[in-house]
Amino acid sequence: MATQSSPLHILFFPFLAHGHLLPMADVVRVFALRGVKCTFLTTPANVTCVEPTFDRTNKFIESKNDTHLVPISVSLISFPSAEVGLPDGLENASFVSHPEMHQKFFQAFLLLEKPFEQVLKEINPDAFISDTFFTWSADVSARTGIPRLAFNGMGLLARSAQEKLHQILEFLPDEADKFVVPGLPHQLEMHRGQFISFKKNKEILAMLKHSNEMDAISYGEIINSFLELEADYAAHWREVVGRKAWLIGPVVLCNEELIEKSNRGGNTSIGTEELLHWLDSKRSGSVVYICFGTLAHISLEQFMNIAIALEESDRDFIWVVKSSNLKGYNDWLDGFEQKTHKEKRSIIIKGWAPQLLILNHSAVGAFLTHCGWNSTLEAITAGVPMITWPMGAEQFFNEKLIVEMLQVGAAIGVKDSQQLIETETIKNVIESVVGAGVESEATRKRAKELKERAKAAVQEGGSSYSDLDNLIEELIARRNTVL
């Protein structure tokens, strides 16, 4: 454990997107509350995403009057918008929708290498934790001698599978419908269509391969997971892959207060009081919550199938509709919203949603999710069964963990990232999770039990608590040896 006389100092640099900024902010809080001096580095436009969280944490630290705790500091790095032709202030990938803008955004973060190295030299931390997408930070680590720990944002099953992804796709015949990811603790049978975007997009595949190579030469990796969730893959990563990793999650559990759950990540279109009043009026476990993350775009036909399924299911629901889906859908959505809202069956949230607040309410009985790792962990820590609808990236691997290994959810049945799911299928899978029946009850029971194991992992004496202790002690020992 770091001491006040010589606190361990770590700089944190997340990728510039909500799905990376928020879990990294939670990682910072976890480290800070264990006596580590933490500096969070981001660009000016992204400060508002995390500043309220750090302000609350710092007030708590000050109230404790504990000399071993150091307030979190935020440092800024300029984002090179003008150099790549991006509008001033567009510094978050979550708000980039056009493919051409995406390309410019990635060009911009490549230009952050020299400014980052300058910041690192000025701050001179004992170590830094950077996002896996900042591959060049491994070179900066080599030049400065400051150890780099990578933060990938995935669980270890997906991390282990993706580590082999470039090998699989390089030799995957075009006619192959299914394939098994080799060399893993479990047999993961995947459909070719789930990864066709990887095979077609050579640039993405090359970037993932390079990220993995740079993470492999780094000091180690921080994993937002816990041993009881992925024990076989923790052993696989350590003994077979042969790389260091510390499981310190689920870090989202540091958000305990109502204000932390309701305001995490930004403002929403619905007030907390209104939302809680509606949820409080519903039976325990009766509400279906639908959210596909910040980046997924749903076709109009699929969008309507989901809406019809929800209407016909006669289930109460909260549906988060992202801004990318509002253009062209607004008129139709307004009519649907008016009808279901009049019946007091629905709340439709346009834009950002207080997901933690919703999932942790007793009225919520199922989460229809894209299986992003942040959402997966938020459901697990809330004890809510999942209806899995992966749409890309590592989400199909996460589905395997949720449905086949943990058995805390049911798959919607996506075999192709472009597949259209029919209304009747959506209705049936929703009912299989929230309805009555032996299997539904067993799924709900497993979800509740997993929630308790997650909470135990981050408490003193738990697996994640101990792993974080081990990492802090190892970094202090390394610093003292170097000095």
Which tens digits make up the pLDDT trace of 116-163?
Answer: 999 999 999 999 999 999 999 999 999 999 999 999 999 999 999 988
Q: Report the alpha-carbon distance of residue 375 to residue 409 in Å, rounded.
A: 13
Q: Report the alpha-carbon distance of residue 316 to residue 332 in Å, rounded.
A: 20
> Which tokens in the block code for residue 247?
């499981």
Higher pLDDT: 334 or 308? It is 308
How does the average pLDDT of the chain come out, rounded? 90
Q: Per-residue pLDDT for 109 more than 80?
A: yes
Q: Report the alpha-carbon distance of residue 354 to residue 26 in Å, rounded.
A: 16
Determine contact, residues 410/439, Cβ cutoff 8 Å: no
Determine contact, residues 23/251, Cβ cutoff 8 Å: yes
Q: What is the band of 409 on the pLDDT scale with cuts at 50, 70, 90?
A: very high
| pLDDT at site 100 | 76
What single string gives the DSSP state of each residue in 280-337?
A: HTSPTT-EEEEE-TTT----HHHHHHHHHHHHHHT-EEEEEE-HHHHTTTHHHHHHHH
| Strand ranges (E), 159-261 | 178-181, 188-191, 220-223, 245-247
Q: Per-residue pLDDT for 293 more than 50?
A: yes
Q: Report the alpha-carbon distance of residue 138 to residue 148 in Å, rounded.
A: 7
| pLDDT at site 164 | 83
| pLDDT at site 174 | 66
Average confidence (pLDDT) over 262-285:
87
Catalytic residue among 9, 18, 20, 370: 20
**What percentage of the chain exceeds 90 in pLDDT?**
64
Query: Is residue 232 annotated as a catalytic residue, yes or no?
Result: no
| pLDDT at site 4 | 43
| pLDDT at site 60 | 93
**What residues contact 320, with CB distance under 8 A and at least 6 apart?**
289, 290, 291, 292, 348, 349, 353, 355
| pLDDT at site 6 | 85
| pLDDT at site 356 | 94
Q: Per-residue pLDDT for 176 more than 80?
A: no
Task: Choose among 466, 6, 455: nearest CA to 250.
Answer: 455
| pLDDT at site 476 | 96
Higher pLDDT: 243 or 343? It is 243
| pLDDT at site 165 | 76
| pLDDT at site 95 | 79
Long-range contacts formed by 50-59: CB under 8 A, 24+ apart: 50/21, 50/22, 50/25, 50/74, 52/263, 53/25, 53/26, 53/29, 53/260, 53/264, 54/25, 54/28, 54/29, 56/257, 56/259, 56/260, 57/29, 57/32, 57/33
Q: Per-residue pLDDT for 22 more than 90?
A: yes
Average confidence (pLDDT) over 7-15:
97
Q: Report the alpha-carbon distance of residue 36 to residue 449 in Å, rounded.
A: 32
| HSE-CB for 472 with a 13 A CA cutoff | 24
Domain ranges of the chain: 9-253+457-482, 266-455
Which residue do the tokens 């509606």 mark?
278
Q: Radius of gyration (Cα) for the chain, nearest Å?
A: 22
Q: What is the band of 304 on the pLDDT scale with cuts at 50, 70, 90?
A: confident
- pLDDT tens digit sequence for 46-89: 999 899 899 999 999 999 888 899 999 999 999 999 999 999 98
Q: Report the alpha-carbon distance of residue 257 to residue 263 in Å, rounded.
A: 10
Task: Choose among 345, 293, 296: nearest CA to 318.
Answer: 345
Catalytic residue among 26, 126, 131, 215: 131
| pLDDT at site 458 | 98
> Which tokens in the block code for residue 204?
């993405």
| pLDDT at site 325 | 57
Average confidence (pLDDT) over 224-236:
97
Name the helix (H) or strand (E) containing 5. none
Q: Alpha-carbon torsion 290, 23, 158, 406, what sign?
A: negative
What pTM value is reported for the model?
A: 0.94
Which residue do the tokens 């973060």 mark?
109
| pLDDT at site 452 | 98
| pLDDT at site 283 | 94
Q: Is 266-455 a domain of CATH 3.40.47.10?
A: no
Determine contact, residues 256/182, Cβ cutoff 8 Å: no
Right CATH number for 9-253+457-482 from 3.30.70.1230, 3.40.50.2000, 2.20.28.160, 3.30.450.20?
3.40.50.2000
Query: Is residue 131 annotated as a catalytic residue, yes or no?
Result: yes
| pLDDT at site 468 | 98
Q: Per-residue pLDDT for 329 more than 80?
A: no
| Strand ranges (E), 36-86 | 37-42, 73-76
Q: Report the alpha-carbon distance of residue 194 to residue 202 in Å, rounded.
A: 16
- pLDDT tens digit sequence for 236-260: 999 999 999 999 999 999 998 888 8
Determine contact, residues 24/132, Cβ cutoff 8 Å: no
Q: Per-residue pLDDT for 336 more than 50?
A: yes
Domains 9-253+457-482 and 266-455 share a fold: yes
**CA dihedral in degrees (35, 39, 44, 48; nearest 10)?**
-10
Name the helix (H) or strand (E) containing 474. helix 463-482
Q: Per-residue pLDDT for 417 more than 70?
A: yes
Determine contact, residues 457/465, Cβ cutoff 8 Å: yes
- pLDDT tens digit sequence for 33-43: 999 999 999 99
Q: What is the band of 280 on the pLDDT scale with cuts at 50, 70, 90?
A: very high
Q: Report the alpha-carbon distance of residue 409 to residue 191 in Å, rounded.
A: 19
Average confidence (pLDDT) over 409-427:
91
